[in-house]
Amino acid sequence: MQERIMLDKRLKQVVDYIPKGSILADIGSDHAYVPCYAVQQGLIARGIAGEVNVGPMEAAQAQVDLIGARDVIDVRLGDGLAVLKKDEATCISICGMGGSLIRSILESGKDKLGAVERLVLQPNVDGQYVREWLLENGYRLVEESIVKENDKVYEILVGEKGEEDVYSADENERNWQLLFGPFLLQSRPEPFKLKWSREAAKLDYVLGQMAEGVQSEALVRKQTEFKRYRDKMREVSQ
């Protein structure tokens, strides 16, 4: 009997954003839960589980074999989008990594995005790098969500090819939108408030340390900048 895969809240939210009938490439797939679950739900036509490390690649292959999906999910070893053929995937998910790594995977694999209708990206930290990449590369941020699981908070960002219209023309406002997420900044759900109150507390701690140092001009400038961020983080987490 095929093992039914159960997803945690974070990956369930990711799967909910995958369009039906997609050819899904899940990059950094590790255990391949996302493509395996999507196949079991009849959501995707085909899947590719990409992994740069042998251990996780073997875990992915074992999971695919366990659910008897070898004919629909290809497990491939390689760096980022290099595992894909040109115009192969219609949806790409990249989850559970830092925002700067997700951005660099997208940047180095631009030539593989030709047929991609949707990017589902789940940065563990530094989501602003992912939003910036989308904005600078002709992708519209179409949805954002944030979930809390085991006391951790995760953002999930969805991009589609097209002209961006969600960001403010005002540079200062746009920078805050890139940091907090334009949709999340509007709706401010509880996990969002928790995330940013924690970030404000971290900055507060750093500011406390800085206050004990020699007050050079550069340090004072940094403190002013950090206070501005901390105050904004506190404001949005009210």
Ligand X SMILES: C[S@@+](CC[C@H](N)C(=O)[O-])C[C@H]1O[C@@H](n2cnc3c(N)ncnc32)[C@H](O)[C@@H]1O
Interface with ligand X (CB under 6 A): 27-30, 50-53, 56, 79-80, 95-97, 101, 105
* Minimum CB–partner distance for residue 213 and ligand X (Å): 35
| Nearer to ligand X among residue 157 and residue 233 (C-beta) | 157
C-alpha–C-alpha distance, residues 68 and 50, integer Å: 18
| Nearer to ligand X among residue 135 and residue 156 (C-beta) | 156
DSSP state, 76? E
Q: Which residues have C-beta within 8 Å of that of residue 72, sequence separation ≥ 6? A: 39, 44, 45, 46, 47
Q: Following DSSP, what letter does each residue of 101-161 receive, concatenated?
A: HHHHHHHHTGGG-TT--EEEEEESS-HHHHHHHHHHTTEEEEEEEEEEETTEEEEEEEEEE
* Minimum CB–partner distance for residue 168 and ligand X (Å): 31
| Nearer to ligand X among residue 101 and residue 203 (C-beta) | 101
Chain position carrying tokens 């008897």: 68
Tokens representing 217 are 């001009």
Q: Which residues have C-beta within 8 Å of that of residue 170, sequence separation ≥ 6? A: none
| Nearer to ligand X among residue 53 and residue 186 (C-beta) | 53
* Minimum CB–partner distance for residue 96 and ligand X (Å): 3
* Minimum CB–partner distance for residue 187 and ligand X (Å): 24
| Nearer to ligand X among residue 13 and residue 237 (C-beta) | 13
* Minimum CB–partner distance for residue 51 and ligand X (Å): 5
C-alpha–C-alpha distance, residues 58 and 66, integer Å: 12
Tokens representing 144 are 């954002």
